Structure 1
Amino acid sequence: MDLNFKKELANGYSSNSQIARVLSESWVKLNSYCPSCGEKPLNDFENNRPVADFYCKKCSEEFELKSKNGKFSTTITDGAYDTMIQRITSDTNPNFFFLTYSKELVVDNFLIIPKQFFTPDIIIKRKPLSETARRAGWTGCNIDLSKVSELGKIFLVEKTKIINPEIVQTAFNKTTFLRNKSLDSKGWILDILNCIEKIPNRDFTLKDIYNFEKDLKVKYPNNNFIKDKIRQQLQLLRDREIIEFNGRGTYKKID
């Protein structure tokens, strides 16, 4: 994997946004691989396709790329809010690649967030454009990556370090079971995952998770069995080998 952009590919383009798009998309096509099955190269869709930028011929996973010059940020600016919500709640939503690069046109970070981690909770609605704007009333959105579980942030390149593809594939496929869950069920699992990740110690207890009961009650006000739901999700995460049950209400996070 060559972390340098091929600058000559931008010859003939004058717009900074066009140059960034051409260089970043070309880099992905030349250097990336499918995080699901390892197939290389990825194939690009026709220009201006509304759903995704790349796809894998072998396993049919689809990917959209978002790139940025500068440091990696947990807030990503995106397009129309309603369109984004419709996409991520559909059956055809893509996985998302996020790429950051330096002013020297070298890739710093390249990560994928699998589509199962995209829920309405992480999409933040921006203020509508003013009445004097050309697109008055248009409402955009931001993607808040700070709300995404760490299991959903899978780096292929982290701070210019290339991650072993086998590690990437294992991490990617570890949570694909979420795709078969309803939006409500997936939401519960991801919420409990986030609770677990807020606990600083690797070992934790059922009581530690129960401490989040009030927060979960705010999100699920009509559920009168929060503790039952917590235990249910812990059992599922244990069965999926995301956490380990050590008996007597004690658990361990699995790396």
Structure 2
Amino acid sequence: MATARQTLGEFGEQRVVQDCGCPKCKRPKTLVRLPPNFKCADVICDFCGYLAQVKASSAKRIDQVPKTVMGAAWEPQRQRMEAAIYFPLFLVLVTPDAQYSIFYLSADLQEPAMFKPRNPLSENARRAGWQGFLYDMTAVADRAVRVR
């Protein structure tokens, strides 16, 4: 059974696939979900191969980007940043009554300072040593475009 966070993430991916066209080739309805746990990307355009990350977050307001958004695994993100590889970001904000908005931040508008590593999980945790990261959106909030 999926956790609340997994359900929220799936909702966000479904909304992007259903509501957004591909930012690269501009074709509607060509974004499809990638398999769970695909590193650093959640959707792909089945026409041009464009990859993007989707993050969904609970929010009281859907008209502004939050200060931080929970990321995923830090190590793959760090390695990609060292190789100067950034994935575009779709941010889906969802209210308790299921209203939502979608913001888009292209890869070329991202900067290394917006990725903040979290502390590794304790040795008593089920995934001891695993380290995630946060997107610090404060420096790039004005660069994100609301697409829905």
Structure 2 length-normalised TM: 0.78
Residue 91 of structure 1 deviates from its aligned partner by 6.0
Paired residues for 1:16-35 under 5 Å: 16-35=4-23
Match of 2:74 in 1: 81
The residue aligned with 1:222 is: none
Asked if 1:143 is matched to 2:135, the reply is yes
Q: In the alignment, is residue 153 of structure 1 matched against residue 144 of structure 2?
A: yes
Change (3 A) 1:119 1:82: farther
Partner Cα separation in structure 2 for residue 18 and residue 149 of structure 1: 25
Larger radius of gyration: 1
- Greater relative contact order structure (CA < 8 Å, 6+ sep): 2
* 2:83 match: secondary structure: coil
Measure how far apart 1:144 and its partner are.
Answer: 0.5
The match for 2:54 is 65
C-alpha contact (below 8 Å) 1:66/1:97 kept by paired residues: yes
Q: CA deviation at 1:58?
A: 4.0
Change (3 A) 1:61 1:125: same
Instruction: Please list every run of 5 or more consecutive structure 1 residues that lacks an aligned counterpart in the other structure.
Output: 1-12, 158-255
* Residue in structure 2 matched with residue 115 of structure 1 by the alignment: 107
Residue 215 (structure 1) aligns with: none
| Residue pair 2:39, 2:76 contacting (<8 A) in 1 also | no
Q: Number of matched residues?
A: 143
* 8 Å CA contact retained: 1:85, 1:120: no
State whether residues 87 and 93 of structure 1, in contact with CA within 8 Å, keep that contact through their aligned partners in structure 2.
Answer: yes
Select the residue among 90, 94, 97 that pairs with 1:101.
94
Instruction: Indicate conservation of the 8 Å contact 1:88/1:118, yes or no.
Output: no
Q: Which moved more, 1:30-39 or 1:85-94?
A: 85-94
RMSD: 2.4
Match of 2:122 among 122, 130, 135: 130
How many angstroms apart in 1 are the aligned matches of 2:124 and 2:8? 30
Which protein has the bigger helix share? 1
Q: Is 1:65–1:98's contact at 8 Å kept on the other side of the alignment?
A: yes
Letter in 1 for 2:27: E
Q: Deviations over 1:25-65 (max 9, x none)?
A: 22222211122332111122233322312122444321111
Q: Which runs of 5+ in 2 are unaligned?
A: none
Runs of 4+ in 1 over 6 A off after TM superposition: none
Question: TM-score under structure 1 normalisation?
Answer: 0.49
- Which residue identity does 1:74 align to in structure 2? K
CA displacement, residues 61-116 of structure 1 (integer Å, 9 cap, x when unaligned): 21111001224412111123222111234365421110101111121x21111112
SS of the residue corresponding to residue 14 of structure 2 reads: helix
Contact 1:110 1:156 in 2 (8 A): yes
Percent identical: 24
Go from structure 1 to structure 2 and tell me whether the alpha carbon gap of 1:97 and 1:75 turns closer, same or farther (over 3 Å shift): same
CA 1:89–1:97 in structure 2 vs 1: closer, same or farther (change >3 Å)?
farther
